[in-house]
Every structure is written in structure tokens, then in C-alpha cells.
Amino acid sequence: MNKLAEWQLTLPLALAFAAIFLAPLLMLVGVSFFSDDKITQPGFAQWVKFYGDPFSYKVIADTMLLGVKTVCATILVGYPLALVYLDAPPRLQKVLIFVIVMPLLLSVVVRTFAWIVVLGREGVVNQLLLSLGIISEPLRLLQTELGLVISLTQIEMPLMLLPLISVMSRLDPNLRDASAALGASRWRTLFTVIVPLSMPGLVAGCLLVFASSTTAFISQTVIGGVRLIYLPLLIWQQSLVVFNWPFAAVVSIALLISVLTVVSALSWLGRRSGGYVHG
């Protein structure tokens, strides 16, 4: 079979993507340039309405900040866990990887629900603190950003740990031994040897966690409630509650652009750090 014919094997998928991926996205952009929610009058009114309102910028900033906070929290506890995994004997490694991977097979909705039971008024955290006498009445943890970030940390953790562990396991163990033999403390070895070498995994993890937490509609609405407004909630309200499709289209383009900007900045960083390590 010649080259041309082999290339044709991509045609079915290419046609499917053109018809049910590219065409819908182009239509989304088209719909955003209609001024009324009946989609009859072309115009820029919805763009002006969204970008002329200071509230929109607050929602965009809050959404991006939520992603950044989740990324920081997953690094803070996830990176040490990856280090422990690296030093663990093979048998323990097997158990750890099982524990880390299993949440991935568990529905995001179940993981979200688990945090309602943990953080609720009658939840585990409140019961524990009350019985220890640390607090006298239940704390409000649900419908706060703190509660949401804690929950997202668990929900997104596997996405940080898997790329980290896969990069770290390929590190030459001799490098750490050499660093120790030359007199570096473990902290110094961590920050001057392990962290720079694991940068590609760290960046990949940040990228996945950021993209996933900023668009985690169910976790955001169920744990964050309706008072914490992020872009996904706004898109849902405008499209399925208010039925203002052009405005929803404008908001979802804002989500698309802000997520893709951060993701491409991160992957550019990742390529640079990768070059630094190998070059």
C-alpha cells in the first residue's frame, strides 16, 4: 500500500472531528456575535456586555486563582508523597501506586460527594473539632473557597502525582548518592538536584491540575455553592437556566482563552526546563 493510501486511514477520524468538533466550535464563535438571545440580530452586544462589566474580570480572576491555589496545594503535599514513593522499598511502592491510581477510576462526582460528608455541618471535621473542644459550634467549611481548595486537592492529586512519579523514577539514583557523598544535606540535594531534574514532570502535573480544577463544574457548584461564582457556573447559568446562548458563548470563549493561555505558558516553561536538564 503506498504512502497516499496509508494517509487516507486518518480520513474517518478527520471527517468526524470536522463535523462534530470543529464545526460546533466555529458555530459557538458565530453565535457569540449575535446581540439577542433568539439569535436573530448580529452584533457585538454580548461581547460588550461581558467585557464591559468589572464583575466579569473578577470571575475570570477568581477562576484562575482557584486553579493556582489548587496547583500549589497539590504540589505542597503531592511532591513530598512522590519523594517518599521514590525512597520506598518495592513492596511499599506497589501499595502506594495502588492508592494513588485508584481515585482516578473513581467518579469525580463520588470524590466530590465524599467531601460533603467530610466538610459538612455534621461532617467529620466538625464532629472531631467539637468533640475535642477546639470549637464550640460547627465551622462553615462547605461553600467556602478554603473547603473547595481542600476538596480539589484530593480530587486532582492523581493528575499531579502520576507525571511526577513517572519522571522521578527515571532519575539516576547515583546522582543523589553523589550529592550526599559530596557533603550536601538532604534539603540541598532536594532543591539543587531532584527538583530541577523532575521539572518536566512537575510542569506536566501543574498543567493537568490547573486545566482540570478551573473547569471542575460539579465540584465548584456542589462544594463552592452558588455564592462562589466561577466561569463554569456562569456558562451553565447563562446557557441552561437563563437561555442566553450568545452570552454563554462569550463566557465559554473567555474560559477557553484564559485556560489555554496558562496551559501554553506552562508547557513553554516545561520545554525550556526540559532543555535545561538535558542540555
Partner 1 sequence: MGRRHSLGDLSYGLVIGTLAALALLIIVAPVVIVLSTSFTEGRSLKFPPTGFSLQWYEALFDPSKSRQIHRAVLNSLEVAAWSTAFGVLFGSLAALGLARSRNRLARVADGFFMSPLVLPGLTFGLAALMYFTLIGFRPSLNLIIAGHMIVTVPFILRTTAASLSQLDPALNDSSQSLGASWLYTLRRVTLPLIAPGIFAGAFLAFMASIDNVPVSLFLSTARTDMLPIRMWGMMESTLDPRIAAVSGVLITAAFLLMLVMEWTVGLTRRMRE
Q: Which of residues 229-268 bind partner 1 (CB under 8 A)?
A: 232, 235-236, 239-240, 245, 248-249, 252-253, 255-256, 259-260, 263
In the DSSP assignment, the letter for residue 45 is H
Kindly state the number of chain residues that form the binding site for partner 1, as judged by CB under 8 A: 93
CB of 272 to partner 1, least distance (A): 19
Residue 204 near partner 1 by CB under 8 A: no
Neighbours of 232 (CB within 10 A): 20
Residue 169 near partner 1 by CB under 8 A: yes
Q: What angle do CA 187, 189, 190 make, to 5 degrees?
A: 65
Residue 213 near partner 1 by CB under 8 A: no
Residue 33 near partner 1 by CB under 8 A: no
Residue 90 near partner 1 by CB under 8 A: no
Residue 191 near partner 1 by CB under 8 A: no
Find, among 149, 155, 161, the residue nearest to 111 by Cα.
Answer: 155
Chain residues 106-165 in contact with partner 1, contact rule CB under 8 A: 106-118, 120, 122-124, 127, 150, 153-154, 157, 162, 165
For the stretch 49-55, contacts whose Cβ atoms lie closer than 8 Å and that sit 24 or more positions apart, written own/partner, are 49/247, 49/250, 50/247, 50/250, 50/251, 50/254
Chain residues 43-62 in contact with partner 1, contact rule CB under 8 A: none
